[in-house]
């Protein structure tokens, strides 16, 4: 059973309880009744059994909302049940997080790595070394890992859910085209690994723990150096047949416009992507070295920076109109480094949406900044690993 030898002995109702706690995190017995469909007596009996086996323990109820009555007791999975690993491989960084099955991040580290300039082998060697180091810091080993998911800033095609997704021809990571990173990481670490697009993982995190909580149909945008997107419908990612669903950055605004790295002309990314904004600001503010500086300038009141951020929001809102008309989502969550500009970006986006989408669709739609910041992708990797531990261990 892979890295979950104890799980082979947990079958029937106890296993359903373990699965429910893994997906939901700390829960009351009443919530476990709802999640599993088991009777209250059955849940209570098997929770006691799992406590005796050291797999379940009482949890701190301090995070619960006040109800006016006696706080309901929570239970959660223990560290003996294992840990999960999430990795966010960005263009210039590698972030590694370790979480337990009670949904607590117990270790996290980010390092500057020139991913765009390096080949896949060198970066994956670095990832493997950082995973081992972070596990060691939290007192765990590879034998404790029940699942690992890594995110890449490029579409991953093929059988992603089987862990054998291939990096399609990539203009973002040209040295990675044709590689199968999950298989490479499995070989380096001896762990069950899946690899996915980073925007997909950011969408999962915001839907589960961030600004998308409570939404049934979420469009997630990652606005950074490039523009990525993802769709979460009823808690599940909509991937599309080749893994590119939600990639609005390459919707054309001008068929006669400049040539984009994707091969098309006039793409949204050429107008609203971070690289395009930095090129546009060089005349007015040549001292701005990166997108973070541009966003900070806008927040601090620099008029040139504010105009560029607002224009980016307008362009994105125009493109989103077609997506909103087609999918009729209830929420759009704006993440990525550009997304940290908040309402400076989101308000122009809302106004453009109001003009480009059907009024009835816009009336039922909220557009909000993401709440997880630069951690969204690595937290999404942990969320995916928590969801996939059974299949990863099979």
Q: What is the pLDDT along the chain (394 residues), one digit of tens a residue?
A: 345 555 657 788 888 998 899 888 899 999 999 999 999 999 999 999 999 988 999 987 654 444 344 556 899 998 888 899 999 999 889 999 999 999 999 999 999 998 888 889 999 999 999 999 999 999 999 999 999 999 998 888 765 554 567 887 777 788 888 899 999 999 999 998 999 999 999 999 999 999 999 999 999 999 998 899 999 998 888 988 877 888 899 999 999 999 998 889 999 999 999 999 999 988 888 888 899 999 999 999 999 999 999 999 999 999 999 999 999 999 999 999 999 999 999 999 999 999 999 999 999 999 999 999 999 999 999 999 998 865 555 5
What is the DSSP secondary structure assignment for residue 357, as one 8-state letter?
S
80-110: burial string, b at 16+ Cβ within 10 Å, e else: ebbbbbbbbbbbeebbbbbbbbbbeebbbeb
Please tell me the predicted confidence (pLDDT) of residue 165: 76
Please tell me the predicted confidence (pLDDT) of residue 62: 56
Please tell me the predicted confidence (pLDDT) of residue 283: 81
Report yes or no: 177 and 169 within 8 Å, Cβ to Cβ.
yes
d(CA 103, CA 382): 9
Angle between helices 40-52 and 29-36 in degrees, nearest 10: 110
Please tell me the predicted confidence (pLDDT) of residue 205: 95
Three-state SS for 384?
helix
Distances (CA, A) of 125 to 35, 36, 128, 138, 302: 40, 41, 5, 21, 41
Please tell me the predicted confidence (pLDDT) of residue 2: 44
What is the DSSP secondary structure assignment for residue 305, as one 8-state letter?
H
Distances (CA, A) of 34 to 17, 40, 55, 72, 136: 11, 9, 21, 15, 37
CATH, domain range 5-80: 1.10.10.10
Instruction: Give kind and range of the element (H or E) at residue 244.
Output: none
CATH tag for 213-371 (out of 3.30.420.40, 3.60.150.10, 3.40.50.300, 3.40.50.920): 3.30.420.40
Distances (CA, A) of 40 to 30, 35, 54, 177, 213: 7, 11, 21, 52, 27
Please tell me the predicted confidence (pLDDT) of residue 282: 85
CATH C-level class of 82-201+376-393: alpha beta
- Which residues are registered as beta bridge partners of 87? 96, 150
Of 27, 84, 177, the closest CA to residue 392 belongs to: 84
One fold for 5-80 and 82-201+376-393: no
- Greatest alpha-carbon span in the chain: 71
d(CA 119, CA 111): 17
Please report, for the chain, the start and end positions of each structural domain, with discontinuous segments joined by +: 5-80, 82-201+376-393, 213-371
Please tell me the predicted confidence (pLDDT) of residue 391: 59
What is the DSSP secondary structure assignment for residue 259, as one 8-state letter?
B
Of 323, 332, 333, 324, the closest CA to residue 359 belongs to: 324
């Amino acid at each position: 059973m892979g890295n979950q030898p104890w799980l082979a002995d947990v079958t029937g109702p106890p296993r359903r309880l373990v699965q429910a706690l893994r997906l939901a995190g700390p829960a009351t017995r009443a919530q476990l009744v709802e999640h599993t469909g088991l009777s209250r007596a059955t849940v209570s009996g098997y929770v006691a059994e799992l406590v005796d086996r050291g797999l379940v323990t009482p949890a701190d109820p301090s995070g619960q909302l006040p109800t006016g009555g006696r706080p309901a007791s929570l239970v959660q999975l223990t560290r003996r049940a294992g840990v999960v690993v999430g990795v966010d491989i960005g263009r210039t960084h590698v972030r590694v997080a370790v979480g337990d099955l009670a949904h607590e991040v117990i270790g996290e580290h980010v390092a500057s790595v020139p991913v765009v300039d390096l080949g896949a082998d060198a970066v994956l060697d670095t990832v493997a070394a950082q995973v081992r180091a972070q596990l060691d810091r939290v007192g765990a080993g590879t034998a404790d890992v029940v699942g690992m998911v890594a995110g890449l800033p490029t579409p991953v095609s093929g059988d992603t859910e089987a862990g054998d997704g291939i990096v399609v021809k990539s203009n973002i990571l040209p040295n990675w085209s044709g590689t199968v990173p999950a298989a490479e990481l499995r070989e380096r670490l001896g762990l069950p690994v899946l690899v996915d697009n980073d925007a997909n993982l950011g969408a999962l995190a915001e839907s589960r723990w961030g600004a998308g909580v409570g939404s049934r149909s979420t469009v997630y945008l990652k606005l950074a150096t490039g523009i990525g997107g993802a769709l979460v419908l009823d808690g599940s990612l909509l991937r599309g047949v080749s893994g590119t669903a939600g990639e609005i950055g390459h919707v054309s605004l001008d068929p006669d416009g400049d040539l984009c790295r994707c091969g098309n002309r006039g793409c949204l990314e050429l107008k609203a992507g971070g690289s395009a904004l930095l090129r546009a600001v060089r005349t007015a503010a040549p001292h701005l070295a990166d997108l973070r500086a541009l966003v900070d300038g806008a927040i601090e009141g620099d008029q040139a920076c504010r105009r560029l951020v607002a224009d980016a929001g307008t362009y994105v809102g125009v493109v989103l109109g077609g997506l909103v008309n087609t999918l009729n989502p209830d929420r759009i969550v704006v993440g990525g480094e550009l997304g940290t500009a908040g309402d400076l970006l989101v308000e122009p986006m809302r106004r453009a949406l109001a003009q480009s989408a059907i009024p009835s669709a816009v009336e039922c739609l909220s557009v909000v900044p993401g709440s997880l910041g630069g951690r969204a992708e690595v937290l999404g990797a942990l969320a995916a690993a928590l969801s996939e531990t059974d299949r990863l261990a099979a």
